[in-house]
């Protein structure tokens, strides 16, 4: 039965990887393999020789001697445990996505466009790279990529030039997301999973992530694609809403507040995110009512507001397919973890791969394994890889292993356009060819990834 579950996982994984070839959204195989995996566990619970206790990070003693009812009860408790941990991540993401959509409702991101005052291609490259690096740490790399490419489309009219900028935005956004607990789904998973803390994550990864962004941008600035000036149409475009700038800073400030809330209250991050969402929503409703008060008669005001509530509008724009995909993939990985499959795989991996890392608390950590994880995240989705690593390794909070995993999984996906959420969304928005990206951008991403990894290996001994 265990072999059948692994086969289901491999087939589902393959379907996710070949999403664009099969023309089937990746959330479908993720949900299917989750449901089938847990169904097979339930049907074959008596045939398993061991069970992994995720809460205590160890195998359950005497599992094979338990009766059927006890095993089923243990399975239900484990399923509920994993659902709770997954729900923490999903609710957190829902809150962050809603705040970003509220900002967009008031056209807050149009404020960013006013920062660009030059026509020189290389300077615009640096502006977008720095913006992507900073924004991705605040509003996550996926959203930062969407925002910046939307702005890019209004500034750079030539698509052949624009896709070069998009490629460097992907690299910068993924680099920026790696050092922030709210910058990438994988770092959010590690943060909520109690593997990294905000302060140490920033301390360990800010410099490597910065190098990962700067090196490709520096090399690219000397390439022919970024020589000369752009033909930019002069526009006197003002934000559509008088509250645009206010909502931009309020929304970004509310998201930044979440890690601070966690440090002071020790509550899960999703609680702070819900508080931030509530505060932003209050101001959004007030500003929206004020707007309609000035434009509509009193009798029509309530109807207008009911149909144009910024909160309702923002909730309808959330990427629910992404949320369902994370649900499916995280719960499917949890199935393998519960059987002890990932725990056993980690032991085999540690024994078979040469250890070139440092020794900490009596346990050798393989830097090669983590680097391979980064390369693997370019080929397949980094979310299940990090989810698998949570079941494979049992190191404690702020162990160097988790920070290196956060860096590798977060930035390694830039090497292929399908290797990260930022890359996939850029591919869709600009219709970027897979092989064009490999030829023009992948080598830049690889150089940045290796440069940042080298910086991490050198600087980690300083903390």
Q: pLDDT tens-digit profile of 312-346?
A: 888 888 878 878 887 888 888 788 878 876 666 65
Query: Does residue 225 or residue 18 have the better pLDDT?
Result: 225
The length of the chain is 463
Question: Can you tell me the distance from the alpha carbon of 115 to that of 245, in angstroms, rounded to the nearest whole number?
Answer: 13
Cβ contacts of 261 within 8 Å, gap of 6 or more:
267, 269, 271, 272, 275, 276
Structure tokens of 422? 């930022």
Beta bridge partner(s), residue 462: none
- For residue 131, the surrounding DSSP H or E stretch is helix 121-139
Where do we find the tokens 């291609």? Answer: 121
Secondary structure element (H or E) that encloses residue 145, with its range: helix 141-155
Whole-angstrom distance, CA of residue 414 vs CA of residue 81: 32
Q: Is the pLDDT of residue 275 over 50?
A: yes
**207 Cβ neighbours under 8 A, 6+ residues apart:** 455, 459
**Residue pLDDT, tens place only, 28-87:** 988 999 999 999 999 988 888 778 776 665 677 778 888 888 889 888 888 998 898 888
**Cα separation, 172 vs 175, whole angstroms:** 5
At residue 355, the 3 state secondary structure works out as coil
Rama region for 399: left / alpha / beta (φ>0; ψ in -120 to 50; rest): beta
- SS3 at position 58: strand
Which of 230-234, 282-286, 357-361, 417-421 is least confident? 357-361
Cα dihedral sign, 193-199-205-206? positive
Decide if 280 contacts 102 (C-beta within 8 A). Answer: yes
* DSSP 8-state code for residue 63: G
The percentage of the chain sitting over the pLDDT mark of 90, rounded to a whole number, equals: 19
Chain centroid to Cα 358, Å, comes to: 28
Three-state secondary structure readout of 206-273: HHHHHHHHHHHHHHHCCCHHHCCECCCCCCCCCCCCCCHHHHHHHHHHHHHHHHHHHHHHCCCHHHHH
pLDDT at residue 297 is higher than 70: no
> What is the value of pTM for the model shown?
0.70
């Amino acid at each position: 039965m265990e072999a059948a579950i692994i086969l289901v996982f491999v087939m589902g994984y393959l379907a996710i990887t070949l999403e664009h070839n099969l023309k089937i959204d990746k959330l479908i195989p993720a949900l299917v393999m989750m449901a089938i995996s847990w169904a097979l566990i339930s049907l074959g619970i008596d045939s398993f020789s061991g069970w992994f206790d995720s809460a205590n990070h160890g195998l359950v003693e005497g599992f094979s001697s338990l009766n059927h009812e006890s095993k089923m009860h243990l399975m239900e408790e484990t399923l509920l445990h994993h659902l709770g941990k997954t729900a923490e991540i999903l609710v957190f993401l829902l809150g962050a996505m809603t705040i970003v959509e509220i900002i967009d409702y008031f056209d807050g991101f149009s404020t960013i466009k006013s920062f660009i005052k030059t026509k020189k291609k290389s300077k615009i490259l640096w502006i977008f790279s720095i913006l992507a690096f900073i924004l991705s740490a605040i509003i996550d790399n996926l959203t930062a990529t969407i925002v910046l490419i939307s702005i890019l489309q209004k500034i750079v009219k030539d698509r052949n030039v624009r896709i070069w900028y998009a490629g460097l935005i992907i690299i910068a956004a993924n680099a920026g997301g790696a050092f922030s607990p709210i910058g990438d789904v994988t770092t959010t998973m590690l943060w909520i999973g109690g593997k990294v803390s905000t302060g140490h994550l920033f301390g360990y990864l800010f410099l490597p992530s910065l190098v990962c962004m700067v090196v490709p941008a520096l090399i690219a600035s000397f390439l022919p694609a970024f020589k000369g000036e752009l033909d930019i149409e002069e526009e006197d475009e003002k934000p559509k809403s008088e509250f645009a700038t206010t909502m931009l800073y309020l929304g970004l400030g509310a998201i930044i507040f979440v890690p601070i809330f966690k440090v002071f209250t020790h509550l899960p991050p999703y609680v702070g995110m819900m508080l931030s969402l509530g505060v932003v929503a209050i101001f959004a409703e007030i500003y929206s009512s004020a707007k309609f008060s000035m434009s509509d008669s009193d009798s029509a005001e309530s109807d207008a507001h009911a149909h144009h509530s910024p909160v309702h509008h923002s909730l309808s724009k959330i990427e629910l397919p992404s949320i369902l995909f994370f649900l499916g993939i995280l719960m499917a990985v949890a199935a393998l973890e519960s059987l002890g499959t990932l725990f056993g795989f980690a032991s085999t991996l540690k024994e078979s791969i040469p250890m070139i890392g440092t020794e900490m608390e009596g346990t050798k950590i393989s830097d090669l394994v983590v680097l391979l994880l980064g390369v693997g995240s370019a080929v397949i989705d980094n979310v299940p890889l990090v989810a698998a690593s949570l079941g494979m390794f049992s190191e404690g909070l702020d162990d160097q292993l988790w920070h290196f995993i956060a860096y590798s999984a977060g930035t390694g996906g830039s090497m292929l356009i399908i290797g990260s959420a930022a890359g996939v969304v850029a591919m869709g928005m600009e219709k970027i060819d897979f092989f064009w990206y490999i030829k023009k951008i992948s080598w830049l991403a690889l150089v940045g990834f290796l440069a940042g990894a080298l910086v991490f290996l050198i600087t980690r001994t300083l903390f």
